[in-house]
């Protein structure tokens, strides 16, 4: 996963897919987010539970522990290592869902510039991405070191032709379990490792190269352009 997403629906649309009975505390926006080209290090709408309340906050995309000052803050965490490596130990228990409409990857097809692709669910539903982070506190608000990462796994099937990694996308049922603080860490690890949505749940297609500049926005960036895609999709 290269690190560029689309998040254009509204928070209430994302929450409706989760079908959670919890009261919502929404500090993000009540309007459609309308962000078609979201880059790392910006604030991204994130869902997390605190007590009985579901919180929607804008959180910095990227995080690193205080002792790792000599490296850039990663925006993704590999599912194979995230539960046991020292780097993410502090935030592994703090689970969240990053609800997105899709994500972008770039493929070298022999031209002067790589060709961008947009990847989304075939059924049109949002992608509920397993995430962890140092999250805003309900009482104290946003902290200086808040941030999050999206958990990624090996791509499978035809998606390998687009990129070798992809976010771990959970079904609504599993996303609810992921968010629940009562879910044991061992269970969360197995969900992330083995129960992400399969390759067959997604489609991908070529889009305009203007998406390469993160300042560009608008739904034209996710519009399909002509061509046969790697992996056999159209």
Catalytic positions: 2, 105
Other Cβ atoms less than 10 A from the Cβ of 233: the count is 17
Burial of 88 (0-12, 13-18, 19+ CB in 10 A): buried
Residues found in the chain? 234
Q: What is the Cα–Cα distance from 119 to 1, expressed in whole angstroms? A: 11
Q: Are 30 and 12 in contact (CB under 8 A)?
A: yes
* CB half-sphere exposure, 116, CA atoms < 13 A: 21
* CB half-sphere exposure, 3, CA atoms < 13 A: 15
136: tokens are 């805003």
């Amino acid at each position: 996963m290269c690190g560029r997403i689309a998040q254009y629906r509204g928070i209430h649309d994302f929450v409706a897919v989760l079908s959670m009975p919890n009261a919502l505390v929404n500090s993000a926006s009540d309007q459609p987010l309308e962000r078609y080209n979201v880059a790392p290090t910006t604030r991204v709408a994130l869902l997390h539970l605190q007590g009985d309340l579901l919180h929607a906050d804008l959180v910095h995309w990227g995080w690193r522990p205080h002792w790792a000052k000599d490296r850039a803050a990663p925006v993704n965490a590999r599912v194979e290592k995230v539960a046991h490596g020292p780097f993410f130990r502090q935030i592994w228990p703090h689970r969240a869902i990053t609800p997105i409409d899709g994500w972008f990857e770039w493929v070298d097809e022999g031209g002067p510039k790589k060709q961008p692709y947009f990847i989304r669910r075939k059924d049109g539903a949002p992608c509920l991405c397993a995430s962890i982070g140092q999250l805003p506190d309900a009482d104290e608000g946003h902290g200086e070191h808040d941030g999050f990462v999206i958990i990624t796994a090996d791509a499978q099937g035809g998606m390998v032709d687009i990129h070798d990694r992809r976010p771990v996308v959970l079904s609504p049922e599993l996303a609810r379990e992921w968010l629940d603080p009562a879910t044991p860490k061992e269970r969360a690890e197995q969900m992330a490792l083995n129960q992400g949505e399969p390759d067959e749940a997604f489609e991908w297609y070529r889009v305009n190269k203007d998406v390469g500049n993160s300042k560009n926005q608008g739904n034209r960036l996710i519009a399909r352009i002509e061509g046969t895609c790697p992996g056999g999709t159209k």
